[in-house]
Amino acid sequence: MVVDRLVARDGVRRRLTDSVETALRIADGLVLIDPVDDDVPARRYSEKRACPNDHILALEEIEPRTFSFNAPYGACPECTGIGVRLEVDPGLVVPDEDLSLAGAPSHRGLPRRRSTSGACSTRCPRTSGSPWTRHGASLPEAVKEAVLIGKDYEVHVKFRNRFGRERAYTTGFEGVISWIQRLHEQTESEWSREKYEAYMREVPCPVCKGTRLKPEVLAVTIGGRSIAEVSDLSIADARDFLLTAEAR
């Protein structure tokens, strides 16, 4: 909807003000200014604490708690203000790359799922006895990905039960990394949680990049810097920055 068309000239201020207020009221606080000049792109403006172009959620009234990761008003919703998350490290899952899939022992108390991984290797011929990596040679990347990440095909597993009878079943293979991550999230045992965390490392939160704050909080800047960026400055640099910001 076009609210008004104006030509920049003396005495147009009152009409411009009325037109902008009307547009904001109709469009719930948003207005689009589209200059006739082809070299100047149209721009959106908002009367709310939000970016109309990047779709950042609007902030409520800005208060000191808005910038605190210890409060839900400012904490990143993904990591709840911690700034990091635990992620399975392939280097901890495969600590000895000279060993093969068949020869890799259980370590740190984690079950090996030998029958399932063995069945998976039958779908990739001549891999179960090959080393993970040795002297520049290694298993194909597709095989490594199948073992660590999982595969969308079904594998046929054969095993002998405690009575010596052979049994078989068909199952999917979710991959060691997904398996450890799932068990870590589902367990209620502190002992089990610590066992799974032996294969994990801390990585920065993918949403807040370790700043521990909401994206919309980080969008609030002074002199082009967010509170997280200012907090990372040295004392001397922070002093210079704040003096410069105050003088503006």
User: Mean pLDDT lowest for which of 51-65, 116-130, 142-156, 161-175?
Assistant: 116-130
114 and 180 inside one domain: yes
Residue span of the structural domain in which 32 resides: 1-47
**Residue 243: inside a domain:** no
Q: Is residue 67 part of a domain?
A: no
Residue 68 lies in a domain: no
Is 218 inside a domain boundary?
Answer: no
CATH code, domain carrying 107: 1.10.8.280
Same domain, 180 and 120: yes
Residues 192 and 124 both lie in one domain:
yes
Cα dihedral sign, 39-44-47-50: negative
- 106 in the same domain as 193: yes
Same domain flag for 27 and 115: no
**Are residue 184 and residue 100 in the same domain, yes or no?**
yes
72-97: pLDDT as tens digits: 888 999 999 999 989 999 888 887 77
Residue 169 lies in a domain: yes
Above 60 in pLDDT, residue 106? no
Q: How far, in Å, CA of 149 to CA of 176, rounded?
A: 7
- Tell me what percent of the chain is helix, strand and coil, each rounded to the nearest 5: 30, 20, 50
Please check the confidence at residue 109 and state whether its pLDDT lies above 50: no
* Mode of pairing for the β-strands spanning 151-160 and 166-173: antiparallel
Residue 12 lies in a domain: yes
* Most confident of the ranges 93-97, 138-142, 184-188, 218-222: 184-188
Evaluate whether residue 71 is within a structural domain: no
Rounded to the nearest 5 degrees, what angle is found at the Cα of 57, between the Cα atoms of 54 and 63? 125
pLDDT band at 104 (very low <50, low <70, confident <90, very high): low
Q: What's the structural domain count of the chain?
A: 2
Are residue 118 and residue 175 in the same domain, yes or no? Answer: yes
Q: Report if residue 148 sits inside a domain.
A: yes
Span of 31-35, 66-70, 115-119, 136-140 with lowest mean pLDDT:
115-119
Q: Report the candidate in 185, 174, 195 with the shortest Cα–Cα distance to residue 110.
A: 195
Q: Are 205 and 215 in contact (CB under 8 A)?
A: no
**41 and 106 assigned to the same domain:** no
